[in-house]
Every structure is written in C-alpha cells, then in structure tokens.
C-alpha cells in the first residue's frame, strides 16, 4: 500500500502536469520573421510578447477561422506547430489577404484603438516594432 505522503506527492505531480500542460503548449516570446514568405526582408523581424498579450486578451481576439463571418475556431486547436495557429496557413502573398497588411491591421489596429480610448497600449512607430538592429533572440517562424 502507498503511504499517505506518497499519495500526496503523486497528487501534486499529477496536478502539476495538468496545470502546466496548457501553458507549455504556447510560446511566450515570438520572433515574427516571415521574410521568406515576403521574399523581401526590408524590415527587421518583430519581437512579439505573445505571453503578455495572451494574458491581457482572448485567444480569439487574434486567432480565427471564419465561417459565415463567425469565428468558429476552437481554442484547443491552438498548439505549437498547429496550422490553426499559423497566420500563413491562410494569409500569404498568394492569398487575397496580404500577410503584411493583416499583421499591421491586427497589431496597429488594436494599439491605435486602445490609444484613442485612452487605455494602456502598444507601440505604433515603425522603429518600435522594426528595430534598426535585429533583436538578439534566435529562431523565428
């Protein structure tokens, strides 16, 4: 028979696994670097504090799959590596919605709207998102 302390430990471990699983599945910091898709790296990649934005907003404020103009995306599909979480699955130079336009529309659209309503917001100047010197974090999507 397992001792009470052992059972207690086992519960903690299981609780830990359950609680940490959803958090581990999403990146905290993303270097947005689609220069291969753009085919014209005119601007440096953009550092995006995904985790911070994730805490402040709903996943479906940014991620979507539209059907009859309704966002029907299931949040549980949003996992690292999943095509549902990748903007380029649907927005790329070959599609109607140009990638650069939709990124600016999403990021700047929200920052501008919040700023106008006098709330805490994010940057709107080119240089604040596209630094002169590339960010020193490795990777990219």
List interacting residues with ligand HEC (CB under 6 A).
Answer: 26-27, 30, 32-35, 38, 40-43, 45-46, 48-50, 52-54, 56-57, 59, 61-66, 75, 78-81, 85-91, 97, 100, 102-108, 110-111, 114, 120-126, 128-130, 141
CB of 16 to ligand HEC, least distance (A): 20
CB of 1 to ligand HEC, least distance (A): 41
Helix or strand (DSSP H, E) at 21: helix 4-24
Q: In the numeric block, which tokens belong to residue 108?
A: 């700047």
CB of 121 to ligand HEC, least distance (A): 5
Residue among 7 and 61 whose Cβ is closer to ligand HEC: 61
Count of other CB atoms within 10 angstroms of residue 52 = 12
CB of 9 to ligand HEC, least distance (A): 30
- Burial level of 60, CB count in 10 A (0-12/13-18/19+)? middle
Residue among 7 and 52 whose Cβ is closer to ligand HEC: 52
In 25-136, which residue ranges form alpha helices assigned H by DSSP?
Answer: 35-38, 50-56, 59-62, 99-116, 126-129
Residue among 3 and 80 whose Cβ is closer to ligand HEC: 80
Q: Tell how strand 30-32 and strand 46-48 pair up.
A: antiparallel
Residue among 2 and 126 whose Cβ is closer to ligand HEC: 126
CB of 14 to ligand HEC, least distance (A): 22
Integer CA distances (angstroms), 115 to 51, 111, 118, 123, 130, in order: 21, 6, 5, 9, 20
């Amino acid at each position: 028979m397992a001792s009470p302390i052992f059972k207690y430990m086992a519960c903690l471990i299981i609780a830990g696994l359950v609680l940490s699983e959803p958090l581990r599945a999403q990146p905290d910091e993303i270097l947005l670097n689609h220069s291969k898709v753009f085919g014209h790296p005119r601007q440096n990649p953009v550092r995006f504090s995904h985790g911070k934005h994730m805490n402040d907003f709903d996943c479906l404020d940014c991620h979507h799959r539209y059907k009859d103009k309704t966002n029907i995306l299931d949040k549980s599909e949003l996992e690292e590596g999943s095509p549902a979480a990748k903007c380029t699955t649907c927005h790329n130079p070959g599609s109607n919605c140009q990638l650069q336009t939709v990124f600016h529309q999403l990021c700047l659209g929200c920052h501008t709207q919040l700023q106008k309503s006098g709330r805490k917001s994010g940057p709107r100047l080119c240089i604040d998102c596209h630094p002169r010197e590339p960010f020193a974090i490795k990777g990219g999507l």
